[in-house]
C-alpha cells in the first residue's frame, strides 16, 4: 500500500486551527504522482477483487483493533488538525471502530439474491418452448412439462467495480473517511483517497494502520494534491466512481465533470428543528445546544434553524440561551471544552460577516456573536427571515436561529421550504403529526424527539434536493460501490 505518493512537489505544513502551530507535514502530489496513483489503484483492484470475503473482513477487524489500541493517538491528532474538542474526537474514534467492524460484518454477509422467473403465465408461455422448439401452449402442457420448463434459476450477484475515488471533508477526518474507505474495501474495490487539505494527517495514519492490518499493496492510495489535479482524477475514465462529502457547490460541480462514472454526493444542509407545544422543553433545548454549537457547529446535519410553537417559545428560549452561554469555549486539546475553533480564520470571518449581515437586516443576537481569531462565540439569533444567509444557506458554524411559529404544522412547512434536505428534527408526542411530517418534509432522515445531528453509522444517510445524491451507511454504500451481474441457468 502506498501511504502517499513518492517524490512530492512540495510538503504542506498542516496547522492547528486553534493557534496556528504546525501539527505535521504532508507531501503534495504532482501530476506524475497522481497519474501513478491511478495506475497503482488499478493494480490494487485486481488483487482486491480476487480476495475471499473473509480476508477483506479480517483486515477491517484487525484495523479496528489496532486503532482501538492507539485510540488516544488518533484522538489527539484529530483534535490537533481538525480543532475538534477531545470529547468529540473520542466520540469520532468510537464511531470509527463501529464503522470498521460493521463493514467487516457486512463483508462476510453481503450477497445477491435469487430472482424468480416463473411469476407470469403469459410471459412464461412466450419465453419458453416445447422440447422440439415449438411454441408452448400452457393449456395443453402436463405437469412434467411445466415443471421441466420451469427449471430456470436467476441469480443477481454483486461485483466490485474498480478503484473508488473518495474525496473527504475536514470535520470528521477519520469517520467520514471510513464511511467511504471501509465499504469500498469490504466489497472488494481499491480506493484513491483525496482527504481534505486541512486534515490529511489522520488519513495518512489510517492508511498506515490498514497496511499493518494486512491490506494489499496499492489497495489504498492517499493523494494530497491541489484542486486542478483532484479535478483531473474526477474526470479520469479509469475511475468508475467518485464519492464526495462536502459543500453543495463543489459537489454539483464534481457531478458536472464526472462524465459517465457513478457519483455519490453527501452535501450540506441547514438542519431545522421543530418544537411542538407538547415537547419536553428541557430535553429539546439541551439536544439543540448539542446539535447546534458543539465542535463549532461544523456538522452538515447540525442544528441551524429552530422553530418553536408560540405557546412554549419563551420557556424554550430561556433554556436554550442559558445552555448556550454555559458552553466552554477554547483550546480543543483541553479537557471539558465544548466549542473549539472553526477550521480556519477565513471561515470564522465569513461566519461573523453572516451574523453581522443578519443583524443589519433586522435580526437580534440573544447571545454570542463575537469572534476571536478562529473562535466564534456560540450564537443564538432571533427575528431572522428565510431569505437571510443564516437561514437560507449552510453556515457551518456555532450559530443557530430561533423563531416563533403559530403551530407545529407551520414550523414543518417553514423547515421544509429550504433548498436543502439532509436531516431534520421534530420534538412532538403526536405520532400522527410525526408520520405526516415525513410525507411533506423532504429530508433523508427525520428524527422524532431528537435533533438532526443524530446518526448511527449503519443508518442509510444522504439528502434530498441540494443536500446530495445517493446514500451512505455501510451496506447502502456497498451497494452503490458494486454492480450486479445476473446469471440465468436453465437446468431443465
Contact 179, 206 (CB under 8 A): no
On the CB side of 286, CA atoms within 13 Å amount to 6
Q: Annotated catalytic, 266?
A: yes
Of 164, 89, 47, 24, the C-alpha closest to 332 is 89
Q: Is 359 helix (H, G, I), strand (E, B) or coil?
A: helix
Q: Is 174 helix (H, G, I), strand (E, B) or coil?
A: coil
The three cell numbers locating residue 68? 482501538
**What is the maximum alpha-carbon separation in the chain?**
87
Q: Annotated catalytic, 300?
A: yes
Question: In whole angstroms, what is the distance from residue 41 CA to residue 230 CA?
Answer: 15
Question: In whole angstroms, what is the distance from residue 298 CA to residue 17 CA?
Answer: 13
The three cell numbers locating residue 469? 445524491
Given the residues 288, 300, 377, 391, select the one marked as catalytic. Answer: 300
Give the DSSP letter string of 320-340.
Answer: HHHHHHT--BS-TTSTT-SB-
Given the residues 106, 266, 319, 391, select the one marked as catalytic. Answer: 266
> DSSP letter at 18?
T
User: Which residues, including other chains, have CB under 8 Å from residue 427's CB and lie 6 or more apart?
Assistant: 273, 274, 275, 276, 279, 280, 283, 284, 448, 449, 450
Active site residues: 266, 300
Amino acid at each position: 500500500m502506498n501511504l502517499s505518493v513518492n517524490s512530492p512537489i512540495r510538503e504542506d505544513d498542516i496547522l492547528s486551527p486553534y493557534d496556528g502551530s504546525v501539527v505535521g507535514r504532508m507531501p503534495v502530489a504532482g501530476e506524475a504522482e497522481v497519474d501513478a496513483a491511478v495506475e497503482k489503484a488499478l493494480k490494487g483492484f485486481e488483487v482486491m477483487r480476487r480476495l475471499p470475503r473473509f480476508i477483506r473482513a479480517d483486515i477491517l477487524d484487525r484495523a479496528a483493533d489496532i486503532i482501538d489500541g492507539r485510540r488516544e493517538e488518533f484522538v489527539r491528532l484529530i483534535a490537533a488538525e481538525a480543532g475538534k474538542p477531545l470529547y468529540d474526537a473520542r466520540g469520532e474514534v468510537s464511531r470509527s471502530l463501529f464503522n470498521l467492524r460493521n463493514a467487516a460484518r457486512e463483508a462476510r454477509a453481503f450477497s445477491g439474491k435469487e430472482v424468480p422467473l416463473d411469476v407470469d403465465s403469459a410471459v412464461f408461455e412466450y419465453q419458453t418452448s416445447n422440447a422440439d422448439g415449438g411454441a408452448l401452449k400452457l393449456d395443453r402442457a402436463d405437469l412434467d412439462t411445466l415443471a421441466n420448463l420451469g427449471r430456470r434459476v436467476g441469480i443477481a450477484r454483486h461485483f466490485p467495480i474498480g478503484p473508488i475515488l473518495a474525496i473527504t471533508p475536514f470535520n470528521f477526518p477519520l469517520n467520514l473517511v471510513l464511511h467511504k474507505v471501509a465499504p469500498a474495501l469490504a466489497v472488494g474495490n481499491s480506493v484513491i483517497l483525496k482527504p481534505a487539505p486541512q486534515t490529511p494527517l489522520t488519513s495518512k495514519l489510517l492508511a498506515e494502520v490498514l497496511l499493518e492490518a494486512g491490506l494489499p499493496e496499492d489497495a489504498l492510495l492517499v493523494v494530497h494534491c491541489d484542486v486542478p489535479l483532484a479535478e483531473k482524477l474526477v474526470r479520469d475514465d479509469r475511475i468508475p466512481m467518485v464519492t464526495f462529502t462536502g459543500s453543495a457547490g463543489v459537489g454539483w460541480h464534481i457531478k458536472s465533470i464526472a462524465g459517465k462514472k457513478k457519483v455519490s454526493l453527501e452535501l450540506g444542509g441547514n438542519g431545522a428543528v421543530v418544537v411542538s407545544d407538547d415537547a419536553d422543553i428541557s430535553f429539546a433545548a439541551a439536544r439543540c445546544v448539542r446539535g447546534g454549537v458543539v465542535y463549532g457547529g461544523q456538522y452538515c446535519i447540525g442544528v441551524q434553524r429552530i422553530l418553536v410553537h408560540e405557546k412554549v417559545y419563551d420557556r424554550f428560549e430561556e433554556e436554550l440561551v442559558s445552555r448556550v452561554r454555559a458552553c466552554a469555549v477554547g483550546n480543543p486539546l483541553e479537557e471539558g471544552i465544548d466549542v473549539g475553533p472553526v477550521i480556519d480564520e477565513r471561515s470564522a470571518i465569513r461566519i461573523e460577516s453572516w451574523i453581522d449581515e443578519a443583524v443589519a437586516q433586522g435580526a437580534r443576537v440573544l447571545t454570542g456573536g463575537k469572534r476571536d481569531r478562529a473562535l466564534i462565540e456560540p450564537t443564538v439569533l432571533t427575528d431572522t427571515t428565510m431569505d437571510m444567509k443564516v437561514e437560507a444557506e449552510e453556515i457551518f458554524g456555532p450559530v443557530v436561529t430561533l423563531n416563533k411559529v403559530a403551530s407545529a404544522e407551520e414550523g414543518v412547512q417553514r423547515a421544509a421550504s429550504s433548498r436543502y434536505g439532509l436531516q431534520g428534527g421534530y420534538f412532538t408526542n403526536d405520532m400522527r403529526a410525526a408520520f405526516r411530517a415525513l410525507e411533506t418534509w423532504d429530508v433523508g432522515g427525520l428524527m422524532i424527539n431528537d435533533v438532526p445531528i443524530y446518526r448511527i453509522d449503519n443508518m442509510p444517510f444522504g439528502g434530498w434536493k441540494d443536500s446530495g445524491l445517493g446514500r451512505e451507511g455501510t451496506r447502502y454504500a456497498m451497494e452503490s460501490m458494486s454492480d450486479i451481474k445476473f446469471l440465468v441457468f436453465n437446468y431443465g
